[in-house]
Amino acid sequence: MDWGMRNRLSRMFRPSSGNSVMLAVDHGYFMGPTRRLEDAGATIRPLLPYADALALTRGVLRTSVPPEASTPIVLRVSGGATVLQEDLSNEAVTTAIADAARLNVSAVALSVFVGAPHEHQSLVNLSKLVDDGEAAGIPVLAITAVGKELEKRDARYLALACRVSAEIGAHVVKTYYCDGFSKVVEGCPVPLVVAGGPKLDSDRAALELAHGAIAEGAHGIDMGRNIWQSDHPVPMLKALRAIVHEKATVREAVDVLEGEKARPAAPDPAVSPA
Ligand code: 5RP
C-alpha cells in the first residue's frame, strides 16, 4: 500500500487503538431531510470535535462543513435512487475521484447491494471505484447495504457481502452488527466498521450494539441516527468513544454518558468567539 493511502487510513483510524469513531451524516442522499439532520451544519458542528471521521456527500460537505475543519472526510460517492423507489439498489457512482481528490478526502464510500436486483451493477461500481482509488491513493469504504430488507441482517448474508466487497478490493467495509458477528469479522480480511441503523429504543441499546461489535472484532463504528437523533448527541458520541478507543464496558460507557449529560452544554464551536 502506497504512503498516501496509508496516511489517509491512519488519519481515520487512531493509531493508539487501531479503531475509528466515524460520524455518518450521509442519509439525505436517498432519504431527504431526515429527522434532526434537516439543517446538517447545525447537527454536525457540535459533534465535529469528537468524530475521528465524518461520512457525508459532497453537497453537504461544501455547504455545511467549514473548510478549516481538520476532521478526515469519508465522501459518499454512490447514489441515484431515493426512498420513493421500491428498489434502492439501482445506484451509480455519482462523484468523480477527481472531485474527491479536490475535496482532500480521506476515503470514498459506496454502497454494495448483495442479493438485490442491482447486485451486479453495484459490485462493478465498487471495482471501478477501487481502481480509481488505488490510482489516486484514496481508500475505498464499501457499505454493505441491506436496504429495506432488514431480515437479511444475519451473519451468513453479511459475511458474504463483506467478503465479496473485500475481494473486489475495498480497503474498509461497513456492515451491521448481528448475532454471530464474529463470523463476519473472521471472513473479512479488511477492517470492518458497523453502522447503527434506525434509532434504537434507548441510548444504552446503541452503546450495547457498539460494545458487542468492538468486542467481536470490529475496528470501529460509522454511526448516525443513534447519535444525532439521541436527545444527548455529544454525550452519546463521547460514550461511544470510550467503548471504541478505551475498551470501556457498557456500564462504564453509560457512566460517561450520564456524566456528560450532567455537564453544562459547551457553546457551539462554530458560532462562539475564539
Ligand atoms: C446511509 C448510510 C449510513 O451512513 C449508515 O447507515 C450509518 O448510519 P446509521 O447509523 O444511521 O445507520 O450508509 O445510507
Query: What are the tens digits of pLDDT across the range 91-110?
Result: 999 999 999 999 999 999 99
Interval between CA 274 and ligand 1 midpoint (Å): 33
- Cβ 104 vs Cβ 77: under 8 Å: no
In the numeric block, which cell numbers belong to residue 61? 460537505
Q: Whose CA is nearest to atom 5 of ligand 1?
A: 195
- 55-77: pLDDT as tens digits: 999 999 999 999 999 999 999 99
Residue pLDDT, tens place only, 1-46? 899 999 999 999 999 999 999 999 999 999 999 999 999 999 999 9
pLDDT at 272 over 50: no
pLDDT on residue 274: 34
Supply the residue whose CA is at minimum distance from atom 1 of ligand 1. Answer: 27
From atom 8 of ligand 1, which residue's Cα is the shortest distance away?
224
Binned at pLDDT 50, 70 and 90, residue 195 comes out as very high
- Which of the four pLDDT bands, split at 50, 70 and 90, describes residue 145? confident
% of residues, the chain, pLDDT over 70? 95
Q: Which domains are delineated in the chain?
A: 3-262 (3.20.20.70)
Amino acid at 122: S
Mutational test site, ligand 1, from 20, 22, 26, max ligand atoms within 8 Å of CB: 26
Segment 111-115 mean pLDDT? 94
Mean pLDDT, the chain, integer: 94
What pLDDT is recorded for position 146? 73
CA of 270 to the centre of ligand 1 (A): 25
Pocket of ligand 1 (CB under 6 A): 24, 26-27, 55, 143, 195-197, 222-226
C-alpha of residue 5 to centroid of ligand 1, in Å? 24
Annotated catalytic residues are 174
How many whole angstroms from 269 Cα to the centroid of ligand 1?
A: 25
